[in-house]
Copies of this chain bind each other. A is one copy, B any other.
C-alpha cells in the first residue's frame, strides 16, 4: 500500500528566541552542526519510507515561503496551510482528507517537524515496522521513546510488554510492537520515576502511523463535528470556493489534540518502542547536548572568543563575542537581539517574550 506522511510544521518555537522568531520558528532553523534545518532533517530521514511527492507539510500561510525555500523539490500543493491553529486533531484530519481525495487510501505517517533523531537507520526500521502494523487491520500505531530519566515535561504511554499474537514480527531483527494500555498526561516527578522504574511506559513522541481510512473512521466516531467539517473541506479541494470553505470550516473546529480526541478513546492502539537517539530539542539547553562541545564543554558557533568559560552555549555570527569567566550560560547573538541567559533560568525566556508583547515590541517576537 502507498505510504504518505504528514509533517506538522505550524509551531512557533518560542524557546529558541532570539534565533527563533514568529517569522522563523524552530523547525526552520538549523540547531545541529550539519547546517540543515529541523524540517529538512525530518524530511530526509523519512525518504527511505515515503517518496517526496507523497510528503505533506501542514503549516500556516506565513511559513509557506520558508517551506518552499527549504524543501525545493516538494510539490506546492503538498503544503497545507491551516487558517488558524486548532491543535493536532484538525491538522491531521486536514491532511487525511487531502490524501483520501488523491490516493483513496494509504498508510499515513504523522510526524513533528522539530525533533532530532541521531540513529536514522534504526528510526527507518521502526517506521517501516509501524507502517506494516498500520497496514493490516484497523490499527492506530504510535512510536514511543524509551525513557532514560524521569522527564516531567512529556506525556507517557503505558503498554503491555508481551508480544501479542497477530503482530508482524517475522524474526528477532524486526522491531517489536505492543498493545497500548493507556495514554497518561505529563506526570509529577515521583510518578515519572515510577513510570521509568516500571519499564512499561514510553514517552509520547507525537509520531503516528495509520491508514487514512482508519484515522478518518476513528475521527468520524470520536470527533463527529470535526469530521463533518472535514468532509465539507474535502469536497471543496480544487474548487474556487476552497479558500473560503477551508477558512470557515477549519476555524469553526474545536481545538483538540489527536491524543485526547482519538488515541485515548479508540481501540486497537499499538506502540513501537523507539531507541534511536531522539531529542525534542526543547530549549537552548538541548544545543549543549546536540552539538559538538570543546574540551571545556562549550558549544560554539560564529566568531566567538571564550576565556575561562565552561559548559556554555555560545551562538553568534560575524560579530565578535568575547565571553570571559562564564559558566553554564547561553549567549545567542542575532542581528537585532541578544540573549544572555543562565542555563538554569532558560524557562524564563518566555517572560522576555511576554514583556516584549506587553511593550508592543512586535519586531522582536
Contact = CB atoms under 8 A, between A and B. Distances in A.
Copies in the complex: 2
Interface in A298-345: 305, 307-308, 316, 319-327, 329, 331, 333, 336-342, 344-345
Given A308-B345, A341-B325, A344-B325, A336 B352 contact: no
Contact of A326 (B17, B322, B336, B342): B342
A305 B349 CA distance: 11
Interface of A: 17-18, 305, 307-308, 316, 319-327, 329, 331, 333, 336-342, 344-346, 348-349, 351-352, 355-356, 361, 364
Contacts of A324: 339-342, 345-346, 348-349, 351-352
Given A345-B308, A356-B305, A338 B321 contact: yes
A320 B364 contact: yes
A333 to B, nearest CB: 6
A323 B324 CA distance: 16
A153 to B, nearest CB: 18
A319 B338 contact: yes
Contacts of A18: 320, 322
A215 to B, nearest CB: 41
B342 A325 contact: yes
B348 A336 contact: no
10 contacts: A17-B322, A308-B348, A308-B351, A316-B338, A322-B340, A324-B352, A325-B344, A326-B341, A326-B342, A326-B345
A307 B17 CA distance: 14
Contact of A338 (B333, B355, B356, B364): B333
Given A305-B355, A352-B307, A355-B305, A320 B338 contact: yes
A341 B324 CA distance: 5
Contact of A325 (B345, B355, B356): B345
A71 to B, nearest CB: 31
Contacts of A348: 307-308, 324-325
Contacts of A345: 307-308, 324-326
Given A326-B329, A326-B341, A331-B338, 11 more contacts: A17-B322, A305-B352, A305-B356, A308-B348, A322-B337, A322-B341, A324-B342, A324-B349, A325-B344, A327-B342, A340-B340
